[in-house]
Structure 1
Amino acid sequence: MTRRSRRLAIIGTSGIVLAAALALVLFAMRDTIVFFKAPTEVVASGPVGTRIRLGGLVESGSVRRGSDQMIEFAVEDGNARVPVRYRGILPDLFREGQGVVTEGILSASGTFVADTVLARHDESYMPREVVDALKAQGRWQEGSGLRKTTQK
């Protein structure tokens, strides 16, 4: 075996090993990857049983508190609304009419069962994905005092 062919064999073997390692990492992470969706997208596609992030505005008048820390509310973007069920303590800044991002699974009944609820941290912040979804729906107003973050 010549020096050049030995070098090519080592490079080829290294490439195959790296590709296999990458495939194993992606396969292991398949359940932890979470995609962001707006209520309109959730209603249209209905990703039942898939873990997603649902973002939009908390619909005014939709928050209902039950027993055993069960909270029900709706997330809307102007065109569609998705009912959300969450068991736990909500963030202090959770309010009706404000931006929220929930993480969980859409049930077969169309209710989003959240295990995480994130609220904006001050009066001028809203998650970038929520702002983009609201702009796409025509509900975003530049003069509203809200801004999207520039963090990458």
Structure 2
Amino acid sequence: MKPGQSQENMTAKQFKFGLGILVIASCVVMLIVSGFSETSMYYFTVAELEAKEAEFVGRKIKLAGKVVPGSIVRDDASLDLKFQIWEPVHRTAANTHYKKTIRYKGIVPDTFRDESDVILEGITGTDGVFVADHLLAKCPSKYESKSYEEMKAMHEEKKI
């Protein structure tokens, strides 16, 4: 303590300093928690959403699926896009596929086309249409293994 400085003055400064540190630490913790909650959103498949759709109406979720061939309808003037996605792995007893209608407004990635794998972020409306505000079209991997039939056909072509 410096000469001429009272104990009360020192305690007030320490209190203000401690309060400042507490406020800064609280802000950092809040930013970390909000960042994790936004980025750690689980994505649903079409079948999972169909099974629990009522509880997710109006809530922001991620949805993954494959673009149904021939379902893409574009309006280049307004950047509106309407298409369907499906989940070819899960089939109902009638051997049909789960499908979901999607509406998106914005710039479409170059890799977006029929049968593209997509991940969408948005909300399901009360009409059952999924309104996406983010669209990610996955790039097909160069390193995906080919099926036995494809490999056999390639091998037979080389023999001829």
TM over 0.5: yes
| CA deviation vs aligned residue, 1:48-79 (integer Å, no higher than 9, x gap) | 11211111110011100124100000110033
- Does the alignment pair 1:55 with 2:73? no
Aligned partner of 1:4 in structure 2 is none
Aligned partner of 1:73 in structure 2 is 83
Amino acid of the residue matched to residue 143 of structure 1?
S
Aligned partner of 2:21 in structure 1 is none
Count of matched residue pairs: 113
Aligned partner of 1:87 in structure 2 is 105
Runs of 5+ in structure 2 lacking a partner?
A: 1-25, 89-96, 151-160
Measured in 2, the distance between the counterparts of 1:30 and 1:122 equals: 28
8 Å Cα contact 1:35/1:51 also seen in 2? no
Measured in 1, the distance between the counterparts of 2:82 and 2:121 equals: 14
Runs of 5+ in structure 1 lacking a partner?
A: 1-20, 127-140, 146-152
Distance 1:103 1:48, change over 3 A: same
TM-score normalised to structure 2 length: 0.58
Summarize the alignment of residues 7-86 of structure 1 with structure 2, pairs less than 5 Å apart.
28=34, 32=38, 33-46=40-53, 47-66=56-75, 67-78=77-88, 79-86=97-104
Amino acid of the residue matched to residue 126 of structure 2?
A
Summarize the alignment of residues 124-139 of structure 1 with structure 2, pairs less than 5 Å apart.
124=142
Name which of structure 1's ranges 116-125 and 58-67 shifts more when overlaid on structure 2. Answer: 116-125
Percent identity over paired residues: 29
Aligned partner of 2:134 in structure 1 is 116
Partner-residue secondary structure (3-state), 2:71: coil
Provide the alpha-carbon RMSD of the alignment. Answer: 3.1
More helix by share: 2
